[in-house]
Structure 1
């Protein structure tokens, strides 16, 4: 599974839900989220189909590597370094040609996101360091966050959940000299996916485009992860392979694992797969 990164559209929203458990929400209950305008930036990360190999566990070997958003080529660490879009500083490309050919479809989201982020920096209530730390957090914990969504939405057992629900991870800022320990997990919730898609047409359109692309290639659709700290939130769509191609162990303690890795500042998370031939990481 390779990863594509793209900063989607930034938008404001207000919402009110009450979480009754990690797997249930009650839209008519008193609000559990603070009533506030949240500047929403988005970062996209994806599951994609790895190249088949002789051994089943090797099919997951490419997971965690970045993928060109134009041609789908996976970055080869040590051999090739992808370039970033100079506007959103998130989308990855394997070459200048791919970047140029992708610009017509990337332009609207890139320019809008850049302008909203710039506007957010002018808001007295917005801590610019929080926004910066959140982007770094999402980049450093791509695999962990996507794995958490797969587990939280129970996609191995109930793949239809990918179309109905989203994972919300609320973070709190903390003082630390270690850049990997400046955010901590405060809580996790399952919320309606419509909470994200109904707030901004550009975000909904881009998620839908990626969902259609995923299904055309045999996937089940796009899982949505919201990572929020204060008034800043990033949206991470995750294109998911069919459960039959994802051999990760099912973990009910995914939230504890997420919290533990973030708390310790570890960025080396690898999903566990247990087979008759042994245990594999990655």
Structure 2
């Protein structure tokens, strides 16, 4: 386990979707997933043309967008589990009165996609062996900076710790719903591998009582090798991640 700080492998923390499952809500906050932030089709990754009609969002969770009905239909068997969890999260967050806080957290991490992707590549040493993508999961915990109100969105949070959990430790930590989400990530990753990429990997991000499982589409093997050749964080990935987020 690589760490900045430490989290015991028998932690009792669970994902927020487990903790607050079943709560109702009267409002659905507008949370944007990576697909919407990057303006790319969630299935084929086609970039949205600003001069053409905007891509349509998933009618249920609103977190991802598609360039066509064909892509939406192809994606649904893989997206439906995450879609259900996303809807339950939104309802629960609104009921608990933390929707805006969570929205800020999600917006913050959506602004650092390339930094987090670099952390995954270096932490799992994917440039050396792309198969390491299935060997473990990154877990990070962040907190709001004391002066967050005076800072731009991309600098409102800072890293407290970062560790790599084995798949077994991760499932123990996240519980049944976490397993469904991770299984869904793996299925989507297989599609990316078939297209020549390394696949897809999550970072489990904890902020206060909220745990967000955020998926990242990884580069092709040659891309990962180049990333590490240019700037390899190695075993100090968590310290380097903290610095990169601090100075982004």
Residue 139 of structure 1, aligned match among 104, 107, 110: 110
2:242 alignment partner in structure 1: 259
Measure, in 2, the Cα distance between the counterparts of 1:111 and 1:226: 18
**Contact 2:163–2:238 (Cα < 8 Å) also in 1:** no
Measure, in 2, the Cα distance between the counterparts of 1:111 and 1:32: 28
Measure, in 2, the Cα distance between the counterparts of 1:133 and 1:244: 34
Partner of 2:149, secondary structure, is: coil
1:219 and 2:197 are equivalent in the alignment:
yes
The alignment's C-alpha RMSD in Å is 3.5
Sort the Cα spacing of 1:227 and 1:195 in 2 relative to 1 into closer, same or farther, 3 A: same
1:153-174 CA-to-partner distances (Å, cap 9, x unmatched) read 1111232321111111210123
**Contact 2:56–2:66 (Cα < 8 Å) also in 1:** yes
Deviates more, 1:195-204 or 1:205-214: 195-204
Unpaired stretches in structure 1, ≥5 consecutive residues:
1-18, 47-63, 267-282
User: Scaled by the length of structure 2, what TM-score is found?
Assistant: 0.71
Unpaired stretches in structure 2, ≥5 consecutive residues:
19-30
2:211 alignment partner in structure 1: 233
Matches within 5 A, 1:31-180: 31=8, 35-40=12-17, 65-76=38-49, 78-80=50-52, 81-95=54-68, 97-98=69-70, 101=73, 104-105=76-77, 106-123=79-96, 127-174=98-145, 175-177=148-150, 178-180=152-154
Between Structure 1 and Structure 2, the one with more helix by share is 2
**Contact 1:171–1:227 (Cα < 8 Å) also in 2:** yes
**Contact 2:81–2:181 (Cα < 8 Å) also in 1:** no
1:117-150 CA-to-partner distances (Å, cap 9, x unmatched) read 3124434xx7434321221122111111111111
**Contact 2:203–2:213 (Cα < 8 Å) also in 1:** yes
Between Structure 1 and Structure 2, the one with more strand by share is 1
Q: How many residues align?
A: 220
**Contact 2:41–2:65 (Cα < 8 Å) also in 1:** yes
Deviates more, 1:134-143 or 1:247-256: 247-256
Name the structure, 1 or 2, with higher relative contact order (CA <8 Å, separation 6+): 2
**Contact 2:46–2:67 (Cα < 8 Å) also in 1:** yes
User: Scaled by the length of structure 1, what TM-score is found?
Assistant: 0.64
Give how far 1:104 is off.
4.4
Partner of 2:128, secondary structure, is: coil
**Contact 1:184–1:263 (Cα < 8 Å) also in 2:** yes
Deviates more, 1:81-90 or 1:111-120: 81-90
Measure, in 1, the Cα distance between the counterparts of 2:241 and 2:55: 28
Moved over 6 A (4+): 41-44
**Contact 1:130–1:232 (Cα < 8 Å) also in 2:** no
Sort the Cα spacing of 1:90 and 1:194 in 2 relative to 1 into closer, same or farther, 3 A: farther
